[in-house]
A and B are shown apart, each in its own frame.
Chain A
Amino acid sequence: MTTVTTRTRETTAPAGPPAPPPARPRRRGEVTPVARGVWPLLVPAMVVTLALVVLPVLYTVWLSVSDLRRDGTNAGFVGLDNFARMAQSPEFWNSVRVTLVLFVVCLVVETVLGIALGYLMSIDVPGRKIFQGLMLIPAITASVAVALVWMLIYDPTLGAANQILTAVGLDPVVWLGDPDIALWSIALVDVWQWTPFMALIIAAGIRSLPAEPFEAASIDGASGWRKALHVGLPLLTPVISVAMLLRTVDLVRFFDTVYIMTQGGPVNSTNTLNVYGYRAAFIDQQTSYAAALQLSLLLLVVVMAGAFTLWRRRRSIDH
């Protein structure tokens, strides 16, 4: 976000010494950064990236177009068979639907609540920093621990959630055992865990906003609500979009909470694409099919994050 904004400012800055003409073709014999010996400094990062990112992805691509058997032998190239099987599988499309529903619901709720909470947290009150620290606890707690604690809370007979509902005269709910409710119960856990994280980023953004546009709007007679909507929100968009991008990548890969709480059940109602791929690999031991599933997940993450980045860049340039 910062990079984009800065670049925009630089290109539009009228003052200062004249900038060198952009994208001027380099002349022959001119000393480039590479020739100056900078590129060897990139080697460690390149080796690590190659070993930990590029090679595993390439190996996954190979697995997805071949047939790796349980005994570790590979029957060789099978073309797009695994992808064809994936496209014909109702379970796959169900898992795509579950992933997208979780993604949209969690992202929207976390963003809206995050903005509201972020605004409250940006107000200077005594003890604000302590409160901010406490708010971070859900986000820094391991998701596995969060899921286990929420399983206790959600226990239909012994859990706190139903005891509270019963105490206020409501019917108990089968939180994780009802296919119509389980997905929402898991979304609630994610919202609980990650809204404070969104709020903290947004609160920091609000505190760094310049005061002048708001003063100008006040002089023009704008109400508090209008100032927030037409001045504050547009100025905050870059911050909010970064927070949303971070959550997008995590939400499309949704795994740990679901796997601990329901393993994708009941009746596949919480079977996200990642859980489905994991089950294919480690329960069914269909490594090649699982590789195809994980590649489709990778594609989904890349498309969504790419679309988001493009939208951010356009908005930033417009702004």
Chain B
Amino acid sequence: MSTKTRILGCVLGAALLALPACGNPTDAASGGGESITLVMSNHPWQRGIEPLIDRFEQESGITVNVQTFAEQQTRDKIQLNLQSRSAAMDVYMTLPSREGPLFASSGYYEPLDDRLVHAPAEYRSGDFSRGAIEGMKVGGMTYALPVNVEGPVLYYRTDLFEQWGLTPPTTVDELLATAAAVKSRTADVTPITLRGSAAALPFTFGPFLHATGLEWTNDQGVPTFDDPRAAQAIDRYATLAREFGPPGVINYSFTESSTLFAQGKVAMELESSNELNSLVDPGSSTVVDHVGVVPVPGSAPTVLSWGIAMSPFSEHKDAAWAFMQWATSPEIQLELTKADIAPPRTGVAADPAYTQSLDTPTRQQWSAAVADLQDNGNVEVGPVGANAPAMRQTIGDAVGKVILGEAAPDAAAAEIQSGLVSQLAGG
């Protein structure tokens, strides 16, 4: 064999070795029929929709490859796919209230307006509640379809409250007093659990800030944390977490809080309305018959919708759109109410099949609380801007220091103010 032949052979061999690296993961998975990949966060909607996907596959002949991760891992996975402009993901769950401006300005969303205009009449694209569909828009363009409505509510143990003669709090001051009352009754039950994990904290902290009359930013778009009321809101939230929250609350998000409540270890839980299902699931909860739900104290709830979006780098956009329509259709959203997913469609919310299914006091209370946050909820779950995720981290880090006793509320407020000013300018 001549040297030239050897060289040629080696170069060809190297090229062959490098080929798999250029491949697309969907190529291998696609098989004969069309297939799409759906990336979802571990979330009540995901747990509700997943068992129904078989129906879509049978009706459409499209295979849906489902990938589910914990919330933060899902975000990482989605951003990795989008940043690398990969076609390996077609549809993904998104929280436009958090990442909408960032993703829209980065070109990570496929615009859906044209497709919505041409959607069939039975899809009833005008049936989404105004707040839900507006929440899917950035700069007037629709980038996602809403799959639920949620916001923070207060869950409480009806049996314990009855035993101790307590009534559910309606203001932040009453919430602190109720937590103190529980603490004085017993050491075996933690008075309240709420979010302490930095990235997740603004969701439950927001109502405390709004209850003081403040927004995240003023009319000029300047952060409001230089107002003394912001330090007051931080102080109340941090006191609740530090004095009356569970040990290790600084790492808590919805999973930890709901596990603790379901195990009967805590009297109140400040969490998303979405968590009802895990608290009343007889398979995992020990307090199924003792769950009460009231609107978040302070009368300043926040409200948001999760949505599903299409990757602009998808190579199966029509199949992806078919799935998105199916998953947000009136029939499927009605079906999902059985999994305690509050419907973003007004038609479904008023459907007798849904309203009559609210057959327990817990579900009726929950439905009233969800209606309250739909009516009165502030749609700004955190400061709005392309830097939203980093801004939430700034708020979470600073409030976390107060929870840990490492900073005073005014110092934390000043830290947030300076952080947000530069992040808003940079966004």
- A residues near B (Cβ < 8 Å) are 37, 40-41, 43-44, 46-48, 51-52, 70-72, 155-158, 172, 174-179, 262-263, 265-268, 279, 282-285
Instruction: Known A70-B386, A283-B389; judge A266-B404 contact (CB<8 A).
Output: yes
Tell me which residues across on chain A come within 8 A of B221, comparing CB atoms.
none
Question: Assuming A263-B197, A266-B198, what are 17 further A-B pairs, CB within 8 angstroms?
Answer: A40-B6, A41-B10, A44-B13, A44-B14, A71-B106, A72-B106, A155-B256, A172-B247, A177-B249, A179-B406, A266-B251, A267-B397, A282-B76, A283-B199, A284-B390, A284-B393, A285-B79
Flag if B250 contacts A265 (CB, 8 Å).
yes
Tell me whether B107 and A71 are in contact (CB under 8 A): yes
With A44-B10, A282-B80 as contacts: A263 and B199 at CB distance below 8 Å: yes
Q: Take A283-B393, A285-B102 as given contacts and tell me if A177 and B107 are in contact as well, using a CB distance cutoff of 8 Å.
A: no
Chain B 249-266, CB-CB to A under 8 Å as 1, else 0, gives 111000010011001010
Q: Which 5 residue pairs across A and B have the least CB separation, nearest first?
A: A177-B248, A156-B247, A44-B14, A47-B14, A156-B248
B251 lies within 8 A of A262 (CB) = yes
In the complex, how many angstroms separate the beta carbon of B19 from the nearest chain A beta carbon? 11
Distance A219 CA – B55 CA, assembled complex (angstroms): 81
Residue of chain B at shortest CB distance from A159: B248
CB atoms of A51 and B18 under 8 A apart: yes
Chain B residues contacting A284 (CB-CB under 8 Å) are 387, 389-390, 393
A47 in contact with B107 (CB, 8 Å): no
Residue of B whose beta carbon sits closest to that of A151: B251
- Residues on B lying within 8 angstroms of A by beta carbon are 3, 6-7, 9-11, 13-15, 17-18, 21, 72, 75-76, 79-80, 83, 102, 105-107, 190, 196-199, 246-251, 256, 259-260, 263, 265, 386-387, 389-390, 393, 397, 400-401, 404, 406
Given A43-B11, A158-B265, A284-B389, CB of A174 within 8 Å of CB of B21: no
CA distance A172 to B190 in the complex (A): 15
Q: Which residues of chain A are within 8 angstroms of B11 by Cβ–Cβ distance?
A: 40, 43, 47
Q: Which residues of B contact A157 (CB under 8 A)?
A: 190, 246-248, 260, 265
What's the least CB distance linking A276 to chain B, in Å? 12
Chain B residue nearest in CB terms to A175: B248
Contact at B250–A266, with CB atoms within 8 Å? yes
Question: Which of chain B's residues have a CB closer than 8 A to the CB of A44?
Answer: 10, 13-14, 17
Q: How far is the CB of A237 from chain B (nearest CB, A)?
A: 38
| Least distance between B132 CB and chain A CB atoms (Å) | 26
20 examples of A-B residue contacts, CB within 8 angstroms: A47-B14, A48-B17, A70-B386, A71-B105, A71-B106, A72-B107, A157-B190, A157-B247, A158-B260, A172-B247, A174-B248, A176-B248, A177-B247, A177-B248, A265-B251, A266-B251, A282-B76, A284-B393, A285-B102, A285-B390
| A residues less than 8 Å from B248 (CB atoms) | 155-157, 174-178
**A210 to B75 CA separation, bound complex (whole angstroms):** 55
B14–A37 contact, CB under 8 A? no
CB–CB B260/A267 < 8 A: no
B404 touches A179 (CB 8 A): yes
Query: Are A176 and B251 CB-contacts (below 8 A) given A43-B11, A70-B106, A282-B80?
Result: yes
Q: Which residues of B contact A262 (CB under 8 A)?
A: 251
CB atoms of A51 and B21 under 8 A apart: yes
Query: Nearest CB to that of B106 among chain A residues?
Result: A70
Say which residue of B10, B102, B106 sits within 8 Å of A43 (CB atoms): B10
Chain A residues with CB below 8 A from B79, complex form = 282, 285
A177 in complex: contacting residue of B7, B251, B389, CB < 8 Å? B251
Q: List residues of chain B with CB within 8 A of the CB of A268.
A: 397
B387: chain A residues within 8 A (beta carbon): 284
Chain B residues whose CB sits within 8 angstroms of the CB of A51 once the complex forms: 18, 21
What is the CA–CA distance of A151 and B386 in the complex, to the nearest angstrom? 32
A38 to chain B: closest CB distance in Å? Answer: 10
A212 to chain B, nearest CB (A): 47
In the complex, what distance in Å separates the CA atom of A283 from the CA atom of B200? 13
In the complex, are the beta carbons of A267 and B401 less than 8 A apart?
Answer: yes
Give complex CA distance A179, B406 in Å: 10
**Chain B residues, CB < 8 A from A46:** 14
Query: Smallest Cβ distance from A63 to chain B, in angstroms?
Result: 12
Query: Which residue of chain B lies nearest to A35 when distances are taken between CB atoms in the complex?
Result: B3
* Cβ–Cβ < 8 Å partners of A285 in chain B: 79, 102, 106, 389-390
Q: Is the CB of A158 within 8 A of B400?
A: no
Shortest C-beta distance, A174 to chain B (Å), equals 5
Give the complex CA separation of A176 and B190 in angstroms: 19
Do residues A40 and B80 form an inter-chain contact, with CB atoms below 8 A?
no
Contact between chains at B21 and A267 (CB < 8 Å): no
Alpha-carbon separation in the docked complex, A43 to B137 (Å): 52
The answer for the CA separation of A174 and B196 in the assembled complex, in Å, is: 14
- Beta-carbon nearest neighbor of B72 in chain A: A263
- A266 with B247, Cβ < 8 A, contacts A70-B105, A283-B390 known: no
In the bound complex, how far is the Cα of B406 from the Cα of A47, in angstroms?
52
- Closest Cβ of chain A to B333, distance in Å, is 31
Please state if A156 and B18 are interface contacts (CB–CB under 8 Å).
no
Contact B7 A43 (CB under 8 A): yes
CB closest chain-B residue, reference A287: B83
A266, B6: Cα distance in complex, Å: 58
In the bound complex, do residue B106 and residue A37 qualify as a contact, i.e. CB atoms below 8 Å apart? no
Residue of B17, B247, B390 with highest tally of chain A CB at under 10 A: B247
Tell me if B389 and A265 are in contact (CB < 8 A): no
CB distance from B32 to the nearest CB of A (A): 32
**How far is A185 from B390 in the complex, measured between Cα atoms in Å?**
27
Shortest Cβ gap from B416 to chain A (Å): 14
Provide the residues of chain A in CB contact with B15, threshold 8 Å. Answer: 47
Measured CA separation A176–B80 after assembly (Å): 27
Q: Bound state CA distance, A111 and B386, in angstroms? A: 47
| CA A176 to CA B120, docked complex, whole Å | 52
**How many Å lie between the Cα of A98 and that of B329 in the bound state?**
50
B6 touches A37 (CB 8 A): yes
